[in-house]
Each structure stands twice: as C-alpha cells, then as structure tokens.
Structure 1
Amino acid sequence: MNFFISLKDATKKIEHYCAYQERCHEEVITKLRSMKMDADEIDRIMAQLIQDNFLNEERFARSFARGKHRIKHWGTIRITNELKFRQINQRLIATALKEITPQEYAETLDLLAERTWQNISESNALKKRKKFCDSLLRKGFESNLVYQKAKELEALS
C-alpha cells in the first residue's frame, strides 16, 4: 500500500520539526525526501518555511556554534567542519563563530585541558602528552593552543 502525504500535512509536520529545534536546509530536505515528497513539493515547502521564518540558516549556524561550544566543548575547527558538512556557506560559518567570545573560548580550553590532564592516568610522560593532545585535537581546538597547553600542564606536574 502506498502512503501519500498531502502538501498541507507535510508542511504542518515539517513546521513542527523546525519549531522543535533549529534545522539547516540540508536536514529539512532530507526529512522531506524521507516523507516521499518530490522535488517540486520540496521546493514549495522550503520556500514557505523560509518565508514564515521556520527556517533560517544564519540562526541555525549561530545556535549550532554556541551550543556545541558551550555544551560539548568543541573548538572552532570541529564546529567549522560540522557546519561545512551541513552545507553551510563560509560567510555564515564566520558569522556563527563570532558567537563565541575569545575570552569564553580561552576559558573553555583551560577548563577542558585541566580536566583532561587530570583524568589521564598514564605514568609515561610522552604517552600522557599524546593522549592529552589527541583528545583536545579531536574536540577541534587549534594545534598550537593544544601544544602550548600541554607544555604548561607538563611544567606544573
């Protein structure tokens, strides 16, 4: 049995999807495709969502950058890569990264570095440093900052 959803029902469903959490265009298009909407219907729904302000890529990018930094403690490299993966353009990525103040960024790095350093129970200094650096690099912090932090923490221990 084929199940077809009307344009009106699909629009209502996708409006709820967008209202629940900020979404990027790519996520909404993927969701509409999963609802078996054709390209023409997707275009019409997307236009409606943008017009009614359910969908705004700049708002999404800003929210994403703030949230991932404050909650998951991601660095700018990881945030940038994740936004690129979601088809967000470079101008919007730059705007989104301005949501994170240099002071907040430094405080997050300090806090995360201290916590990570304390949690690594490795007696071999080189292995400990490698685990520490790998962890912060995976989080998306710049290598020069990570290596500088490792030197500072090594000097203190």
Structure 2
Amino acid sequence: MSLLAENLIPLSLSVNGRPYQLSVTGNTRLLDLLRQDLGLTGTKEGCAVGECGACTVVMNSEAVCSCMILAAQCQESQIVTIEGLKDDPLAQQLQQSFIKRGGVQCGFCTPGVLMSSWALLKKYQRPSQQQVLDALEGNLCRCTGYQPILNAINAVIEDITP
C-alpha cells in the first residue's frame, strides 16, 4: 500500500441532497473537493483565505467559506452549493431579483452572494436590515457597489413576507 493511500481519510457527506462516500487527504479543502472531485464548479475560488466569499456554500444550514473548511471537517454534513439551488423556488426568486435590479454584473461573486442570501432567508423569513448586512459581510463585490444587491434581497424579503 502506498504512503498516500495510507493517509486517506474516509468521508461521508451529502452534497446537494446526494450522499457521497469519499476518501480525502488531510489537507483537502471543501472547495477543492467540490470543484475537482465532484465537478461542481459554480463555487468559485477568489482569495483562498476566507475574505472574499466567492466560495460560499451552505454547510448544515450555515453559509461558510469553503476555502477555509477542510473536507475532513465535513463528516456527516449537509452541503448545498449553487448547483443545488437550481430548482429551489426561493433561489429562483433571488436570481430573478438580482437580474432585474442589477445585482449581477461580472458574475464572479454572484454564486457566493446568492448562497449567503439564500441561507439568510432560509433562516429568517423577515430578516432585519442589519441581519442582511451581516449575512453579506463576507462577500466582496467589485462591480455593483452593493446597493443593487441589497435592493434585490430586500425586494425578495418584501415579496415573501405578508
């Protein structure tokens, strides 16, 4: 048995509702597992140090930077990526609102911003403006100036609450 095979860690997790049984090295990041091993390239790598939010996914109902999470830390976790939102009505509503209000420009940050927004609205049906700002605090966007993103999220909040 090779040295590499001896250092593999068995991993059981769910990604976008699909169960996986994998083996990973101790230094494999969740981002790398998603992009390289599972082919889920909607999750982007920006800064690689947890500052930009381009790699945001939802892990056990919380938005996290997948570049800062080791795959081995995801044992028995439920992971949702941008690909996992394709048939989700709330995600579709967010996407349309972003398009309509100019919250999408170059698009590089969009998957991470949508994941953060979706996680927020799954957790709080009517979040305060401070909760919206807090949820987006880890997502950098160099194009929109943030106001169109905030407008898009606030429009969805108004639509989904009585």
| Bucket of the pairwise TM-score, normalised by the shorter protein | 0.3 to 0.5
* Greater length-normalized contact order (CA 8 Å, ≥ 6 residues apart): 2
State the TM-score, normalizing by the size of structure 2: 0.33
Pair member with larger Rg = 1
State the TM-score, normalizing by the size of structure 1: 0.33
